[in-house]
Amino acid sequence: MKSSLLRDTVNTGARIAQFGHEASRVKSAVSASITDAVEDGAAAARRAVRRGAHAAEDLLDEAAHRVKRSPLRSVAIAFGAGALIGWVITRLIRK
């Protein structure tokens, strides 16, 4: 009876130790996965910012090129856009 109880206690202790080891391994795996996901997200955000900065720079270069190529047309478009925005603002203020 005592040996059976002692054997069951030892087996239970071994199972608890094994469970603790498995839990620690799972915790490490989950922690590594989360860390990897965060690093991947940060890298994607940095790439998106770089792409956006390059796109904005390209847009400014293209605008400067168009203004140099046809300055009168650019002035006319800017005047028309300004007049339209002014008209819209005055309409909104009156209401």
Task: Please write down the HEC assignment for all residues of 28-69.
Answer: HHHHHHHHHHHHHHHHHHHHHHHHHHHHHHHHHHHHHHHHHH
If you search the block for the tokens 């965060």, which residue do you land on?
38
Dist CA 61 CA 95 (whole Å): 39
For residue 37, what pLDDT band results from cuts at 50, 70 and 90? confident
Q: What is the pTM of this model?
A: 0.49
- CA R_g for the chain: 34
For residue 84, what pLDDT band results from cuts at 50, 70 and 90? very high
Residue range 18-26: mean pLDDT, rounded: 79
Length of the chain: 95
